[in-house]
Amino acid sequence: MRHWLVVGTMASALAVLAACGGGDGENVVRVTATEYAFAMPDEIEGGLVTFDVSNDGEQLHEWALGKVDEGKTIEDVRAAAQAGEEPPPWLEDIGGIPMIDPGHGERLTRRLEPGSYVYLCFMPGPDGTPHVMLDMIKMFTVTEASDAEAPDADAVITATDDGYEVPEIASGSQTLELKNSGTTPHEFLFVAYDEGKTLDDVGAWFEGGLQGDSPAAFVGGIHTVQPGESVYVTLDLTAGTTYTVIDSDTGTAEDFTAS
């Protein structure tokens, strides 16, 4: 379930949001995904940024996020992405939002420094063509920091080198701090399996090019959180539904049921 932007254990010169206190000030950027484009401003304020994303299309979409070196253009990104090779050294994976089902979304709060960034979607379409090959790419500029503050977390999910630590989590709109206390980067992918389905079924579905009915609902999360850091996501959780948080690199998974 990885693509060439999310590889290895690249240490991000861009630090994601370190755990800190909450506040009311927000710097919210709306980002919608459809077939096959991202809609968002060309320029946003940096510092703590809350991406309010939604999948307004009819297919699975993701928001793979990279930081682009100065002087590189969207044409450079397009050529590199569509070449289907390893990520170039001037495009740094900083952890975006994994696939989300049509009609759903999440809010992700993280810290961004000034510079150029890009969203890409590598999900395959009905004919197997990755969306990035259909130009589902959006480059944008981050300016100086706003005075936005971090949100208050309703619960904290911690990734360690041995797995996840998941507390009791309520239903409804929940702001979760996703904290990496391990020594390597970790992913937080949230899914709700259909009855009788497992991670193996999800893996087989992806290997088969997403053909046929999905074996799970894909709620969101984040591709990568670096060691010692945290991000915040706000998800809409259904009471009585069992969710699984997954690291697709390691196969680590942990279940919880929204109360």
Each residue's pLDDT, cut to its tens digit, for the chain (259 residues) gives 344 443 322 223 223 333 333 344 789 999 999 999 999 999 999 999 999 999 999 999 999 999 999 999 999 999 998 887 678 999 998 889 999 999 999 999 998 999 999 999 999 998 889 999 999 999 999 999 888 888 999 999 999 999 999 999 999 999 999 999 999 999 999 999 999 998 888 888 888 888 888 999 999 999 889 999 999 999 999 999 999 999 988 889 999 999 9
Distance CA 89, CA 103 (A): 35
pLDDT at residue 94, as a whole number = 86
Question: What is the value of pTM for the model shown?
Answer: 0.83
Supply the Cα-derived Rg of the chain in whole angstroms: 17
Task: Pick the closest to residue 108 from 255, 235, 249 (CA basis).
Answer: 235
pLDDT at residue 210, as a whole number = 85
With H, G, I as helix, E, B as strand and everything else as coil, classify residue 67. strand
